[in-house]
Amino acid sequence: MGDGPPLELRGVCKAYGPVRALDQVSFSLRSGEAVGYLGPNGAGKTTTLKLIAGLSRPGEGEVRVAGQDPSRDRRSALAHAGILIESPGVLPYMTGDDLLEYSARVKRVPLREIGVQQARVARELGVEGVLSRPLGGLSTGNLRRMLIASALMGDPELLVLDEPTLGLDPAARTELRALLRGKLREGRTLLMSTHLLEDVEAVCSRVLFLRNGKLLGDQSLPSGEGADGKGSGRAHLRLLRPVPEGQLQALVRDLGSLKEQAPRHLLVLYEGGEEKLAQIIAVLVQNGISLVQVGPGGSGLEERYLATVGREEDP
């Protein structure tokens, strides 16, 4: 894909008049990694994505896509990136075929390969039957899938998607999540900005929390296959009060492992069935650790979001 990580931001600041939309934001993505980008409305997520797409230039700091600056050489930087930001305007009379061909030409796909790629991404997104129809006449779900298909043209190594499941029905959302997981297994890299935490839990292995332009947290998730309780040796514990992680780990060293997700929230990993989990809980309680909740071993993302970012109406 080029020199450097697929995506990197270093000390990025962006202001609109007196409003500081981004304030010293730094993070990078490794190849094959899926990262959720979360925060309330006005946090600075869309501003970040526009900088990545080369649609805006940072006031301070650097943005690099495969080692290149998208604000200075957008075409080269984004030659191998597929980006969907907000709800981009499209010419209503363009057909799906027109959109995919345009995207292919922008990404410098060889002419002999355009037709093959059009057929592939249309099949992946299930839009084969609407390729010849004007975009203005498509349903919300079909238009969204067509826009994602456009982002996938050129077989990009980096995907940057804003609310990818917006307007999709439950079945289509499930299919899209499976498609994205397949892309990750092929070595693709994903940054996904969304308000739907279940989409992040289903796909991502890491999450970034943003509020008021500041990066507040960078945390791992237990699985990129989703926090849906598939792992029998995984449970989520909520404590009455925080306890040093090292102290907890020492208590259960021979039974399993504990990983702090956020203050008072722990992920328990263990080998065996519920008897082993019961032993872990008993040891914690016997040592004065007060538990207020034990649940399936998902990511606890909603609780972690609220603990890190707070509610949207909070000051």
Cα 305 to Cα 161: distance, rounded to the nearest angstrom: 20
What pLDDT was estimated at residue 226?
38
The answer to whether position 122 is within a domain reads yes
Cα 239 to Cα 290: distance, rounded to the nearest angstrom: 6
What pLDDT was estimated at residue 315?
53
According to DSSP, the β-strands at 206-211 and 214-220 are antiparallel
What pLDDT was estimated at residue 51?
96
Answer yes or no: do 21 and 124 share one domain.
yes
Provide the whole-model pTM. Answer: 0.78
Tokens 């328990």, located at residue = 268
Provide block-wise average pLDDT over 10 residues at a time, the chain (315 residues). 82 95 97 96 95 94 94 85 84 93 91 94 95 94 95 95 92 91 94 92 92 94 47 71 81 78 76 78 89 72 84 62
Number of domains in the chain: 2
Answer yes or no: do 82 and 107 share one domain.
yes
- The helix-helix angle for 111-125 and 140-152 (nearest 10°) equals 140
With H, G, I as helix, E, B as strand and everything else as coil, classify residue 279: helix
Answer yes or no: do 107 and 243 share one domain.
no
What pLDDT was estimated at residue 312?
66
Contact yes or no for 81/65 (Cβ under 8 A): yes
Bridge partners, residue 268, by sequence: 235, 258
The answer to whether position 94 is within a domain reads yes
pLDDT in tens, 127-153: 999 999 999 999 999 999 999 999 999
The answer to whether position 306 is within a domain reads no
What pLDDT was estimated at residue 1?
53
What pLDDT was estimated at residue 91?
86
What pLDDT was estimated at residue 233?
63
Which domain range does residue 117 map to? 7-220
Cα 102 to Cα 299: distance, rounded to the nearest angstrom: 39
Contacts 24+ apart (CB under 8 A), 55-61: 55/85, 56/14, 58/12, 58/13, 58/14, 58/22, 59/13, 59/14, 59/15, 60/11, 60/12, 60/13, 61/9, 61/10, 61/11, 61/12, 61/13, 61/24, 61/25, 61/26
Cα 173 to Cα 245: distance, rounded to the nearest angstrom: 36
Q: Indicate which CATH number applies to the domain containing 130.
A: 3.40.50.300
Q: Indicate which CATH number applies to the domain containing 292.
A: 3.30.70
What pLDDT was estimated at residue 298?
57
SS3 annotation, 15-42: EECCEEEEEEEEEEECCCCEEEEECCCC
Cβ neighbours of residue 116 closer than 8 Å, sequence gap 6 or more:
none
Answer yes or no: do 215 and 255 share one domain.
no
What pLDDT was estimated at residue 261?
63
Answer yes or no: do 153 and 257 share one domain.
no
pLDDT in tens, 189-218: 999 999 999 899 889 999 999 999 999 999
The answer to whether position 60 is within a domain reads yes
276: left (phi over 0), alpha (psi -120 to 50) or beta: alpha
